[in-house]
Amino acid sequence: MGSRDPKSFRSARWFVPDDMRTLSHRARIQQLGFGPKDFDGKPVIAILNTWSDLNPCHGHFKARVDDVKRGILQAGGFPVELPAMALGEVFMKPSTMLYRNLLAMQAEEQLRANPVDGVVLMGGCDKTVPGLLMAAFSMNIPAIFVPAGPMLSGNWRGERLGSGSDIWKFWAELRAGKADKAMQEGIESGIARSPGTCMTMGTASTMAAIAETLGMTLPGAASIPAVDAAHVRMAAAAGRRAVDLVWEDLKPSDILNTASFDNAIKVALAMGGSTNAVIHLVALAGRVGIRLAPERFDTFSAEIPFIVNVRPSGKYLMEDFHFAGGVGAVLKTLSDRLDLTTKTVSGVPLGDAIAPFQVYLPDVIRPLENPVEPAGALVVLKGNLAPDGAVIKRSAAEPRLLKHRGPAVVFRDYNDMTARIDDPALEVDENSVLVLQNAGPNGGPGMPEWGQLPIPMKLLEKGVRDMVRISDARMSGTSYGTCILHVAPESFVGGPIGLLRDGDIIELDVAARRLDVVLSAEEMAARRGTWKKPQQKYDRGYGWMYSQHVSQANLGCDFDFLTGNAPIPEPEIH
């Protein structure tokens, strides 16, 4: 515990002065049944809880929040639970990415407007992790993150299933006529067996690992299964630590620096992490005034091997990863390539935080000399088709397609794609390159996870299970295939991907980091001259604000008025 005077706490401005407004504040807190001994001189710890009946990943948060409260009370703090948007990945349309920035805004303003000294962030489902962290970084009060944890491993007739990854594979087999109704019902009931996030190395697990690497969770927290008793203990411990953070006045700005984000990039590469991590890390860094270009991933890709053997790019599931040693063991394995002096919410440098960890299952977390693959999983591409960059998860693609040349089959939007993809008359073969336009930040809107375009039916029937696919959309971190994503600028704002036509020859060379269309500059200019901007999606509301202010994928898709770390004044108390 630090030596701060409780009168220096933020909450003291609401509860300490001897005036009429303070009398009102104290009366109202007692209206809730709390007495002065509950809150006088104690750190007020907000718990931002993203629980919802429509977010199955957070189904256990309704109970888990009580464990956080227990820890706060044990440490002498005063817990206050505040609701935050749930962003249930599966159910929210058109995309939770549309609402990530809204969660970040809501959470930041919840903290700023209320008498709180520190915060416990409860999230896990894909966009809640970056959304809550973006808010905490901008608000910059003592904060600690409690990851939701992965769900139990799936099972169907003795076969282990991974959420997301095996759904995609099963759907391809069903469309190809190689699966029946009984298999469908069995997989539906067996692939998601408990609360928690996807138990593959999707966006949720990737971002939880990044949160731990950035120093924003307790050591070892990221991979604990959601229904494990260890998760209960971790939640209580996080509550206790949140109180200490306030006494120590240890804030995100004291923890985060460029080295922290470099460490996070390296871990994402080593774990075969989600392509979504590129966008989210760029946005997170932007909130603390750090300009993080996507090319930074490429800077480290050659030196950081892919060592975490977890689906969709590997063999195992997140339970296996946790019992193999979790993120701490990955950090320990990479220790010679990390900056171990970065700070953590545990109060010690990263090197000290990971000291107790080791690898227990060496086929799950591979040694550097025996990686799953010798280079990092994520690659950033550039070229005349993606002047500001695009991303591919190299580890999830068929190796034969990593250098490819083929004619484009262009879909002008998602509805056009769904209407024509299985048309027997569609002019497509296994060498074609499927292109989806108008699926980016503005075009989607919200950059939905449409990037794993389905294989056309007539190719599925021939046994084709992967082909080159390009879009300005994202894809689920649980997805697989040779999918080039986040093409920037997007079609909707006039990016080159929006100028493509059927038959244009596309050249992909992952080793050379290139994505090009074989067209002259004169032809591209001529097409740009006849291009017409699509009609705006929204005329009012949050959607309108989003479309006016969202940045492109290479800039993190944050709002232009939220980036940077300029100070915001504390609210006046009247």
Question: 434 and 340, same structural domain?
Answer: no
Is 174 within a domain?
yes
pTM of the model: 0.95
Maximum C-alpha span of the chain: 79
Average pLDDT for 20-25? 95
Residue 363: inside a domain: no
Question: 338-353: per-residue pLDDT in tens?
Answer: 999 999 999 999 999 9
* Domain-located, residue 519: yes
Residue 437: inside a domain: yes
What percent of the chain has pLDDT above 70? Answer: 99
Residues 222 and 323 occupy one common structural domain: yes
Considering the domain architecture, whether residues 336 and 456 belong to the same structural domain is answered as no
- The edge-to-edge listing of strands for the beta sheet with 143-147 is 78-83, 44-49, 118-123, 143-147
Peptide bond into 195 cis (omega under 30): no
3-state helix, strand, coil in the chain (%, to 5): 40, 15, 45
2 pLDDT band, cuts 50/70/90, is low
Do residues 519 and 383 both lie within one domain? Answer: yes
Residue 1: pLDDT over 60: no
- The pLDDT confidence band at residue 566, using thresholds 50, 70 and 90, is confident
* Domain match, 143 and 279 both: yes
- pLDDT, mean over the chain: 95
Residue 330 included in any domain? yes
Q: Which burial class, exposed, middle or buried, applies to 31 when counting CB atoms under 10 A from its CB (0-12, 13-18, 19+)? A: exposed
Is the same domain home to 171 and 320?
A: no
Domain range holding 163?
A: 154-193
User: Distance between CA 164 and CA 479 in Å, rounded?
Assistant: 7
**373 lies in some domain:** no
In a shared domain, residues 88 and 168: no
Asked whether residue 189 falls in the same domain as residue 210, the answer is no
Looking at residue 515, what is its pLDDT? 98
Cis peptide before 294 (omega within 30 of 0): no
Same domain, 67 and 188: no
User: Does residue 538 sit within a domain?
Assistant: no
Which secondary-structure segment (H or E) carries 568? none
> 176-221: per-residue pLDDT in tens?
777 788 888 888 888 999 999 999 999 999 999 999 999 999 999 9
Domain assignment present for residue 105? The answer is: yes
For the chain, what is the radius of gyration of the CA atoms?
24
Residues 95, 52, 59: CA angle, nearest 5 degrees: 105
* pLDDT tens digits, 297-340: 989 998 999 999 999 889 999 999 999 999 999 999 999 999 99
How many domains in the chain?
Answer: 3
At 433, phi and psi to the nearest 5? -115, 115
pLDDT of residue 476: 87
Do 21 and 88 lie in one domain? The reply is: yes
pLDDT score of 88: 94
Extract the runs of DSSP E, i.e. beta strands, from 41-91.
44-49, 78-83
Taking only the tens place, the pLDDT of each residue in 112-122 is: 999 999 999 99
